[in-house]
Amino acid sequence: MTAFGGPAMVAHIRDLSTQRNQWLDKNDFKNGVALCQSIPGATAIQAAAYVGFKVRGIPGALAAYGGFGLPAFIFMLFLSVLYAKFSNLPKFISLFNGLQVIVVAIIFNATYSFGRNIANNYKNILVALLAAISFWFGVSPFMVIIGACILGMALFKESPPSAVVNSETKKIKWNARQIIGLLVIFIICFTGLYFLSAILFNLVAVMLKVDLFAFGGGFASLPLMLHEIVINRGWLDSKTFMDGIALGQITPGPIIITATFVGYLVYGLPGALVATIAIFTPSFFMMITIAPIFDRLKNSVYFKKAIDGIFASFVGLLLYVCFKFTMAVPWDIVRILLGFAALGALLRKVDVLYIVPVGAVLSVLVL
């Protein structure tokens, strides 16, 4: 309920799990963070699930996932209901006109933060630019990510081997049976949606696809979701999608909780529920599957080079989203000033939890 700030919550999860409750030692938690950064999905909720997994296996991972994600879902569902009922009122229009500007600033800041990490290598920059250009010419971002994975393995140099931290591996066989059981249950439910509702089935399929390729944390889901929801299927327009991102910034938990907003606007409460479950499912399965063998996997040369290529392409995809969202805003002098003020505050590390409400109040007053 207090998980504002996205990945910044990882430090709080570390303190809770290694110091206050002493569930894990610091090396084991560090190993878990490395895993969460190497697989798709939001890093903070993955870190919480990893702690649950190490403490009580798959049931513990499910409990931690639910505990971390449920408040975000409830908050976002409540805000989505309000948005659907009141978004045409003048004050709401002014509010979200300003929040769109805040969203542009947030995406620019994310692009700068991630781009700074790859700017020291021209090969990284090349992959990022190729990704942005490909997205511009209509290439599916999923194909871009696969191409970046291949380029990473072909172009990047070998990194020095990581220090191996010993983890428990004796439960791999038992975990495999549980994983298969969960997977069978999910497949049955997913197949049932096909016969129950084509819209719900397609909504789940889209969210599964987005999460499966969202390497780099919650922000990585935005270009993919934009492509599928706005460009490819036209379920929402760019303005409405940006409003959902803005609401995602004032709720606790990961930014990909925007899936709840999308699901509600597409198919009401059932849509919100299945979209939220689906946007976390692939990364959850990857975490519980890879965790017992990650010590060996993370020292694979090809694995590390592929992940580096994917992270570089993510910067290119964010560049395109910056352009797309910027073009969706009807800029005037007030919006320009508000945008620069928000971006300046973000660059100075002001918490987004303060920036969004202040931007909302200014929007209602001046727009």
pLDDT at 97: 80
Q: Cα–Cα distance between 214 and 211 in angstroms, integer? A: 5
- What are the angstrom distances between the C-alpha of 356 and each of 13, 194, 223, 249? 24, 39, 21, 7
Give the confidence band of 295 by pLDDT, cuts at 50, 70, 90.
Answer: low
pLDDT at 202: 96
Q: Which of 34-38, 98-102, 120-124 bottoms out in mean pLDDT, i.e. has the lowest?
A: 34-38
Residue 44 has pLDDT above 50, yes or no: yes
Residue 6 has pLDDT above 60, yes or no: no
pLDDT at 173: 44
Give the confidence band of 272 by pLDDT, cuts at 50, 70, 90.
Answer: very high
Q: Measuring CA to CA, which residue among 97, 110, 36, 93 is closest to residue 68? A: 36
Residue listed under structure tokens 């009580």: 56
As to burial, measured by CB atoms within 10 angstroms (0-12 exposed, 13-18 middle, 19+ buried), residue 121 is middle
Residue 218 has pLDDT above 80, yes or no: no
Q: What are phi and psi of 189, to 5 degrees?
A: -65, -40
Q: Which residues contact 137 (CB under 8 A, 6 or more apart)?
A: none
Q: Are 186 and 281 in contact (CB under 8 A)?
A: yes
Q: Measuring CA to CA, which residue among 100, 115, 114, 112 is closest to residue 348? A: 112
Q: What is the pLDDT of residues 110-143, one digit of tens each?
A: 788 878 878 888 888 888 899 889 888 888 888 8
Q: What share of the chain is helix, strand, coil (3-state, %, to 5)?
A: 80, 0, 20
Domains of the chain by residue range: 6-366
Q: Are 251 and 75 in contact (CB under 8 A)?
A: yes
The residue type found at 294 is F
Q: Are 318 and 107 in contact (CB under 8 A)?
A: yes
Helix axis angle, 258-290 to 198-212, nearest 10°: 60
Q: Which residues contact 184 (CB under 8 A, 6 or more apart)?
A: none
pLDDT at 88: 80
Give the confidence band of 172 by pLDDT, cuts at 50, 70, 90.
Answer: very low
